[in-house]
Structure 1
């Protein structure tokens, strides 16, 4: 008997990608249910060669559902995830609502799959921030070998990280530039077309944005609380895939060639790094792919035991939907959950 899986937020960018990935990877689901708000009721979404009609979340009974992939934002998750978990259904949440809860595992399967063991405390598992996910996939194999002391990361984040309306705004503004129409900014604080914005999420008292704080806090929780990390998060006029410039200081010596060899063998990583042939990854090339791509691996002569990396990944896939499905696969493959019989 297969599993029953519900997708909350099935009409959004990430929800639709979750449906695609469940089908692509052949997840052992006998039934997949698409859920959203009442205003989306009756909308159809694709699941493989099938069409699913969206049902309203507030009218759905989770008592016979095994896994809920939640991608409806933090406010909805705060309200609904505990209710769903109380019915015995495991919630894998894509928002920031539960990432910093000590009783909720924050999981990137290639990095800390063993930490999933505590999920039954609340029946909730958290997905990390999209920028954090790709970063820790690249850092973990290097940390295991040479022990990371400090990381300086600058992100170049695509507009899809801010949702469909943000993607529409980039498209509309770009068109407006060419036809000399007025530029209207609604989703972003500044014009995004042919521009970059060093501001993602709200500013905090210390001058960092909340997005930057998320990367710092989540990396420590997932990888190692001893790592010192600072971040600058920037929105760029790219539709899909986040890029990161990463500077790493290690406790032990490590060469660029050693790092390449380590990362080539690491789960989830794909090294494309041959500058002489202009072989390096860009966001356009990473879109639609599952890997975390790593390029421009080189030694930093300004510090002892330092490396620089260029890290790119599809934020809708590894940064969100793929990682959530991989967490569900860990639950199934490790036999941490069993399909439930239909409630009477």
Structure 2
């Protein structure tokens, strides 16, 4: 029989069973024994008819989001966006629960702390509200890769190649169906949400462009990197979408305050928390793993103060699921 403690009396509520990150999230929660089956509540919109989910050899019923009663003993992990996500966030916060937004419901709200468990976990204690936000897609990986060099960096340009799973489960399903049709020599329609074919393609942008030429996703990446690393670092970003299901790769062009010493920088990256230095890292190498791979460190041909290198990680397991679970653990234990 499980020991009853103040921590085990808490509940973890996950909203958004149909999210692409839900399965790896459940795996990490079970691997790390973050919660007991009786502490876990799964919610989805009433008309979704979601099947029960297996967790720690127990079937967990997916309950109706619309009929669920939130309470102050809960930590709510929000994987759902849109009107349903916004309504759930408001109801949970009003009930006194802690809310971790992993679906951009609070994007642009400066009253919500953007938290990375490695970089700024202390921001939880000083949070203005009981609402936290996970960094934008790719921001966690890039921030981890830059952290060992943080005090030396003046500016960084990020070229993020995101996988289709960064666009959501519907995009993954759409690309799978398109791939099957193309292998059978059938015509393939463009994805209605993206406006391009996803299978066997590489998109300069999967989102509508603003007047500046950036997308909202790119500006969110810039915003969150500056919040995590400091406003004194100049940041620009471009996000492409590659025709792969999982695994992201970012090429980083880093301008340093002083002339680069490659051996010193390589040593800093090698000793970085959660990083592994490799000659030619690939997204395939990172998928299913719990660390960020960095490599191809080289002197830029444009400036003695610029170095270029890349970072890769599993966008769902590493950047979303593991970071979410670490924050949930802190909330359940200390808040």
* TM-score normalised according to structure 2 size: 0.91
Match of 1:262 in 2: 268
Match of 2:299 in 1: 299
Match of 1:168 in 2: 173
2:17–2:50 Cα contact (<8 Å) kept: no
> Paired residue for 2:252, among 246, 265, 271?
246
Cα distance per residue 1:132-179 (max 9 Å; x no partner): 1111111122113x1x11111111110011112211222222222222
Cα distance per residue 1:51-108 (max 9 Å; x no partner): 2110011111121542111100143333221320221210011022224322211011
CA distance in structure 1 between the partners assigned to 2:136 and 2:177 by the alignment = 27
Distance 1:36 1:116, change over 3 A: same
Distance 1:252 1:113, change over 3 A: farther
In the TM superposition, residue 50 of structure 1 has moved relative to its aligned partner by 2.3
Match of 1:341 in 2: none
2:93–2:99 Cα contact (<8 Å) kept: yes
In the TM superposition, residue 180 of structure 1 has moved relative to its aligned partner by 1.0
2:298–2:308 Cα contact (<8 Å) kept: yes
* TM-score normalised according to structure 1 size: 0.89
Q: In the TM superposition, what are the counterparts of 1:94-243 in structure 2 within 5 Å?
A: 94-119=102-127, 121-144=128-151, 146=152, 148-186=153-191, 187-243=193-249
Match of 1:78 in 2: 86
In the comparison of the two structures, how many residue pairs are matched? 326
3-state SS in 2 of match to 1:61: coil
CA distance in structure 1 between the partners assigned to 2:49 and 2:39 by the alignment = 18
CA distance in structure 2 between the partners assigned to 1:229 and 1:313 by the alignment = 20
1:112–1:223 Cα contact (<8 Å) kept: no
Q: In the TM superposition, what are the counterparts of 1:22-61 in structure 2 within 5 Å?
A: 22-29=29-36, 31-41=39-49, 43-61=51-69
CA distance in structure 2 between the partners assigned to 1:200 and 1:63 by the alignment = 38
Runs of 4+ in 1 over 4 A off after TM superposition: none
3-state SS in 1 of match to 2:39: strand
1:290–1:318 Cα contact (<8 Å) kept: yes
Cα distance per residue 1:18-41 (max 9 Å; x no partner): 222111112144511111110234
2:81–2:103 Cα contact (<8 Å) kept: yes
Matched, 1:66 2:41: no
Distance 1:166 1:57, change over 3 A: same
CA distance in structure 2 between the partners assigned to 1:58 and 1:65 by the alignment = 19
In the TM superposition, residue 329 of structure 1 has moved relative to its aligned partner by 2.2
Distance 1:269 1:127, change over 3 A: same
Cα distance per residue 1:185-225 (max 9 Å; x no partner): 22431122221011132211111111111111111112111
Match of 2:15 in 1: 8
1:16–1:45 Cα contact (<8 Å) kept: no
CA distance in structure 1 between the partners assigned to 2:212 and 2:72 by the alignment = 46
| Structure 2 unaligned blocks of 5 or more | none
In the TM superposition, residue 122 of structure 1 has moved relative to its aligned partner by 2.2
The 10-residue stretch of structure 1 (177-186 or 37-46) with the greater mean CA deviation from structure 2: 37-46
Q: C-alpha root-mean-square deviation of aligned residues, in Å?
A: 1.8
